[in-house]
A and B are shown apart, each in its own frame.
Chain A
Amino acid sequence: MKLYTTIIIILITILGAFAQIDQDTLKIKEVVISAMRSEKNKNEIPVKVDLISAKNIENLAVVNVDDIFNSISNVYVNRSWGPFSKNSSVTMRGLSSSARVLVLLDGMPLNMAAGGSINWHMIDADNVSQIEITKGPNSALYGNNAMGGVISIISKRPKSPITVHLNSYGGSYKTFGQHITITGNRVNDEKGLYWGIKGFARQGDGYYFESEASRDYSDTTTYIWEYNTGGYLGYQFNKDNKIEVSGDFYDDLRNEGIQVYEKDGSYYKFTTKTIQANYVGKFKGFEINAIGYRKQQDYFNQKERLNNFAEYKLMESSSTDIDEGVWIGVNRKIGEKHFFTFGSDIKHGETNYADIYFTSYDEVYYTGAFNFYALFLQDEYNLNKKIKIVGGLRFDKANFYDGSFSVNNPTSETGYENSMHSEYTPETWNAISYKFATNYSFSEKVRNYFSVATGFTPPKLDDLCRSGKISKGIKIANPELQPEKIFNIETGTFITLHKLEIEPSIYYSRGKDFHYLVGLGDTVDIGGEQRALLQKQNVSDVEILGAEINVKFQINQNLNLITNYSFNHSTIKDYKTSVGTELTGKYLAEVPPHLFYIGLYFNHKRLASSIAFRFIDEQWIDDENTLLVEKYSIVDFKISYQINKYFASYIDIQNLLDVEFVDRKGLSSPGRFILVGIKTDVKQISKKK
């Protein structure tokens, strides 16, 4: 408690000290779209937002797009196998799991309804124009998943008649990649067509988890290959109206480091197809943002192993998950003081999952679908030049239906005694989310915000419908699972001096009905091994007390310092079941209490370089708090040089000091990872009359 009091005193002192400062200020107009679902100046919104521009990304050692978030306070990226990870988990504000963060790509939600996960690999960092990271719950505007915050990724759009971008690289573990983007812009007099074709391919040999001395014949490297292709076609009717259609295709293969007999051994594969249409326009004083989208993610996992008795086991898991929806947001200024944002979101998500065994005849299938309907309304009220008040309300209704679960020809592999088929009763639930926030500008340099907001994350289709083996035992479906909810209160200050920006904030969150795996007090014999029966239940109320502070300092014209520190005390306040281990008072898994980042960025003529240090505190990796991953520190380095008008070369080094750390399964990280690359940008400059 002493620590929290100290933090609060420090923050209040900082706020008081800077409240009266009235010096020359760097007036930076940074535009944010996602935080309020309308275009806003970052300095006038009562919420904590971090912005990352394409230029910032250029300066960072980035191998995957989520590596960018390592530089952001209170965002923890769990990518322990580096580029060879099956996926990464990006968590915010002391809430583990990607499902508790809403991620948007050009307005399209990327969290899959089936499991809440995000396929970060399909996003090419070369094509990112800006990333907006809104901290804290924002379900009053976005509904699902926006508990810890919202990450909005905005892609680049062409400004030149023709642009060709190439990026080729090679590096550690024989990793090679090629990115290409060709774009065109034929917009003249604010009318015309623009388009882009993009793609990338990457492959790498990966690394062994085991040391050479302890490897056996089934150990192989975590090799990968992946490629993506996509494009967009847009038409601008006039200054205010445009429509765009875009599509993406992504495919990969990622080996798990095990190969017994089968080609590629045990591996994961995600094939993702997206198509979306966006309309942005103005009509009689109404600003309209509409998006329609469809995503299909085909997941495939081949698993082969020799069990403890040297018996060969082979199975495949696959699923087809489809998410589609239409989101419409409308903005309207009414009078001088009110700015309304309102609209409706409709979303559908479904999954068809199968486990097929090849060393027995077991088959397990499940299906499930969700429909979401939502209405929202927000008013930004500018009381005067200093005070802005924001109030928002959203109503979400969700239907879970078509839930079924089947087992055919069961043996001890799946643990069922007989073939069975069950259909789940449809369930409906509602969620009302609200937000109240104020922004008070003490001066042009100092402002303070205060916010009270709620958020929720729906149950995953996987938890509602799927029964089957997981690493901890046998998970039994719970079709009655309800959403997790969170209430958050926070305040923060923004101080902008001549060359210094300081942004401290503190928050307190109470989570209700969080999903935890509860032991049902019984076991099943699976192939001679006793496995506990478990079920996800709404049993846990959690408490999070946190703080973060960001500091940016321009040392001189060429040198910038960025540093931040985050603190989270995330614990289970009330564990509402007497079955299994009592978890009250336990820390939330995968939440490092302390995160620290400091980066030095240098830019001079043709040379750009950055060196960054980050500290990740120790963290519990199981709910019972028995397994602890040690704290570790990483140094990343990047240097790039513009050779001439068209070519630039660069060296990215992640984990420069080759620090070893392990993931929650005790598997080691790849250590130092170096990429050397060359980029080409060729543009046809428009001839303006």
Chain B
Amino acid sequence: MRIATLYISAMVFLFSCKEEIPEYNSPKLELIQDSGYLYADSSLYAGDTVLVKIKASSQSDYALTQIHIERITENDTITIDTGIYNHTITFVKKIVKSNSDFETWTFTASDRNRVKSESITINISKKEFSTYNDIIHIPSVLFGFQNNNEIGSFYSLSSQEIFDTENAYNFQDNIHLVAYYDYSGDEHVIASPGANISEGTFAGSYDIVNWTTLNTTRFLLSDISTDEFDNCSNDSLIYETSFTFEVGKRKAKNLSQGDVYAFVSDKGYFGLIKVKSLTGTNEGNIEIEIKMK
């Protein structure tokens, strides 16, 4: 009987136990005040590029797992979450001043238990009398899809040339766009080498999975009309539609004639693409028009 009583007491104790995490210091963010980096509120012209350098450090045994960046303008709020696993990390964020009059950038770090640091905020206003500059206009780029033996599927925004698979493999640094047809549902696609394109899409040893340099371009479907695109003669519309690189999609999928996509490349190119025509499947082709900075 004594054993039974002891046993029941032990069970009651076990059933009622619950692990609690003791309180501890929250993570810390520091804005690094090095030359070449923005570390205070500022005014910039639309299109100006600045860098912000921040050091995030955990003040406990728990690793940092997330950097949260938020850009608030009068039109929208964009959030960027980056998964990390570090006790201390210094990161640099490139900011391209948008066309909005005023924008607020907020940086927060969180740890493994979702304990947040105090946020760092930088306010950037648009300098008055921002002047709009000319753009690069490429009226026609004709891509062949992956089994098109006549027209290449790869394009360089820097040299403004189309490459076939073998030549693209040999000039990986210069390739920023790629077109292919996807049978699993994405259909007509424009992407970039860094878009995790399925193995075997481009047959042979020059397939993108064998590349060592994978430039990435990201896309967002724009709601501007083809007329607006056609009338765009300076960079105001490009700034208007541009986005922060991390929020874009790696693939512009299920394309159809008249679609207008904004794009941002990790190499600094950004602008707009309009689909002029497309035909066929993996042996077909797609023609686009590009206006970019």
Contact = CB atoms under 8 A, between A and B. Distances in A.
Interface of A: 182, 184, 193, 195, 197, 229-231, 233, 247, 249, 260-262, 273, 308-309, 311-314, 356, 358-361, 411, 413, 523, 525, 528, 530
A195 B11 CA distance: 15
A83 to B, nearest CB: 24
Interface stretch (B26-34, B62-70, B285-293): B62-70
B83 A314 contact: yes
Main secondary structure of the interface of A (DSSP, over half): strand
Contacts of B15: 247, 249, 273
A247 B11 contact: yes
B82 interface: yes
Contacts of A356: 114
Interface of B: 1, 3-4, 7-8, 10-11, 14-15, 63, 65-66, 68, 79, 81-85, 110, 112, 114, 185-186, 194, 196, 249-251, 253
16 contacts: A193-B1, A197-B4, A247-B11, A261-B63, A273-B15, A308-B196, A309-B250, A312-B84, A358-B110, A359-B65, A413-B81, A528-B196, A528-B249, A528-B250, A530-B186, A530-B253
Contacts of B1: 193
A358 B14 contact: no
Given A261-B63, A312-B83, A530 B11 contact: no
Contacts of B81: 359-361, 411, 413
A135 to B, nearest CB: 36
A229 B10 CA distance: 10
Given A273-B15, A360-B81, A231 B250 contact: no
A-B CB proximity, top 5 nearest: A359-B83, A312-B83, A360-B81, A261-B85, A358-B65
B249 to A, nearest CB: 6
Contacts of A358: 65-66, 83, 110, 112, 114
A361 B15 CA distance: 31
A356 B1 CA distance: 45
Contacts of B7: 197, 231
A528 B249 CA distance: 6
A418 B14 CA distance: 41
Contacts of B110: 358, 361
A273 B12 CA distance: 11
A215 B4 CA distance: 50
Given A231-B4, A261-B85, A359-B83, A530 B114 contact: no
B69 to A, nearest CB: 12
Nearest to B67: A359
A231 B196 CA distance: 55
A469 to B, nearest CB: 16
Contacts of B196: 308-309, 528
Contacts of A230: 11
B199 to A, nearest CB: 12
B186 A233 contact: no
Given A525-B249, A528-B249, A197 B85 contact: no
Given A360-B66, A528-B250, A311 B83 contact: yes
A408 B11 CA distance: 37
Contact of A359 (B3, B66, B194, B250): B66
Given A249-B15, A359-B66, A195 B185 contact: no
Nearest to B79: A411
Contacts of B253: 530
Nearest to B65: A358
